[in-house]
Structure 1
Amino acid sequence: MSEYEVRLFQEDAAIVAIGEGLLARTLPRDAWTHEAHLAACTWIVRDRPDIAPEDDMAAIISTYNVAVGGVNDDSQGYHETITQIYIAAVKAHLSEIKSDTPLWQSVNTLLLSERGGRDLPLKFYSKERLFSVAARRNFIEPDLLELEYI
C-alpha cells in the first residue's frame, strides 16, 4: 500500500462545498483530490437522493474534468471501474455507521479505513486489468477478489 498523508475534514460545510463545486463544475482542479472524490461521493450517496451515483457519476465527473481543462481519454480522466468500486465502498461504509453521524465524521472514518484507501481497487484487480482501457471506459469484473468483500 502507498503511504500518503490523509487530509481530513473538520466540518460538513467543507464537504458540501466540494460536492456542490463538483456538480457546478466550479471546484478548482487542484482541489479534486482523492479525499475530495470520496467526500463528494459520500455526500451524494447520503444527501442527494436525486442523483443515482452508479448511473450519474460518469457524466458528473467527465463534464467536471473537461470544465477544468482536463480530458477523458484512454489514459486519463474519468475511470468507470474505479468509480464504481468507490461508490460500492462508500455505500458499504455508510450502511455500517449510524445515520445521524455528522457528514465530516462519516467521511473521515471512511478515509482512515481500508475502504477509503487509495489502493483499494488493487485489492480486487491486477494493475494490468485495472489500468486497462476497457476498465477505464466500462466497468469490468475483478480478477483477484470478488467485490462482495468491499
Structure 2
Amino acid sequence: MTEFTPRLFATDAEIVHLGEGLLACSLAKEEWTHEAHLAACLYLVAERPDVDVDAEIAGLISRFNESVGGVNDDKGGYHDTITRAYVAGVRLFLAQTGETGLVERVNGLLRSRVGRRDWPLGFYSRELLFSVPARRGFVPPDRAPLPLGADESAC
C-alpha cells in the first residue's frame, strides 16, 4: 500500500457542498477528487436517506462526469467495482466509528485504511480491478471478500 496524505475538510458545509453538488451536477471538475468522492459517498449514505445509494450511485456519478465533459466508457469515467467497493467501505467505517459530526466522520474516513486510494487492492488483483468488466459492472473480488458481505446484490 502506498502512502498518501489526504486533503481533510474544515467544515460540514464543504462536505454538504460536495454531496449536493454531485446530486445537482453543479461541482467544478477540479473539485471531484478522491477525497470528494469519499466525502460525497459518506454524506449520501449517512445524511441523505432519501437517496438510494445502491440504486442511484452509478447514474449520479456518470451524469456528473458527463456534465463536466467527461466520458464514461471502457477506458475512463465511472468505475462500478471501485465505487461499490468504497460504498461498502464507507458503510463499514460508519458502523465502526464513534464520531457523530459530519466533518469528523469524513476526516476519520479519509485517515482510515478505507480512505486510502489503494484500499480496493486489498480485495482485488490489479488486473481484475482495472479490467473493462470491473469498470462496466460490479465484479466480485478475487483476493479477499469485501467487508460486510458486499456483493453485487448488496451494492
Q: TM-score, normalised by structure 1?
A: 0.95
Shift of 1:4: 2.6
Question: What's the offset of the Cα at 1:149?
Answer: 7.0
Please report how far the alpha carbon of residue 2 of structure 1 lies from its aligned counterpart in structure 2 after TM superposition: 2.5
Which residue matches 2:114? 115
Q: Give the superposed CA RMSD.
A: 1.3
SS at match of 2:15: helix
Q: What CA distance in whole angstroms lies between the structure 1 residues aligned with 2:75 and 2:2?
A: 21
Distance 2:130 2:43 in 1: 27
Describe how 1:82-121 pairs up with structure 2 within 5 A.
82-98=82-98, 101-121=100-120
Count of paired positions: 149
| Partner in structure 2 of residue 36 of structure 1 | 36
Q: What corresponds to 2:51 in structure 1?
A: 51
CA–CA distance in 2 between the matches of 1:10 and 1:135?
34
Distance 1:2 1:30 in 2: 23
Gaps of 5+ in 1: none
Q: What residue in structure 2 maps to residue 126 of structure 1?
A: 125
Secondary structure of 1:114's match?
A: coil
TM-score (ref. length: structure 2): 0.92
Q: What SS class does the counterpart of residue 78 from structure 2 fall into?
A: coil
Question: Which whole-Å CA distance do the structure 1 matches of 2:94 and 2:110 have between them?
Answer: 12
Alignment check: 8 A CA contact 2:15 2:40 kept:
yes
Q: State the Cα distance separating 1:106 from its structure 2 match.
A: 0.1
Cα distance in 1, alignment partners of residues 10 and 80 from structure 2: 29
Structure 1 runs, 4 residues or longer, greater than 3 Å off: none
Aligned counterparts of 1:61 and 1:83: Cα–Cα separation in 2: 9
Residue 101 of structure 1, CA deviation: 1.2
Give the drift of 1:55. Answer: 1.3
Query: Which blocks of at least 5 consecutive residues in structure 2 are unaligned?
Result: 150-155
**Paired residue type of 1:107:** V
2:152 matched residue in structure 1: none
SS at match of 2:114: helix
Identity %: 52
Match of 1:16 in 2: 16
Aligned to 1:137: 136
